[in-house]
Amino acid sequence: AELNTKDKFGVRDLEKSGFTLLLLAGIQDLLRPESKEAIAMCNRAGVVVIMVTGDNSVTARAV
């Protein structure tokens, strides 16, 4: 994962105006070894990562 610090869409201006940026993305992919670090990088950057899954809770927690 790579954090792009360029702000070509004016996100920082939206934040200053009191808006909150929300994103919902869906992907299907195998779990990769670097996934844990990518999520950690997002968290350090202030991004809240939420997993939505159709699997049962035991499978979801294992991931």
Between 13 and 40, whose confidence is greater?
40
- For position 41, what pLDDT does the model report? 93
- For position 60, what pLDDT does the model report? 79
Mean pLDDT to the nearest integer, 29-55 = 86
Mean pLDDT to the nearest integer, 4-14 = 66
Q: Please state, for a pLDDT cut of 70, what percent of the chain lies above it.
A: 67
**CA 59 from chain center: how many Å?**
20
- Domain ranges in the chain are 24-62
- For position 11, what pLDDT does the model report? 65
Question: What backbone torsions phi and psi does residue 47 show, to the nearest 5 degrees?
Answer: -90, 130
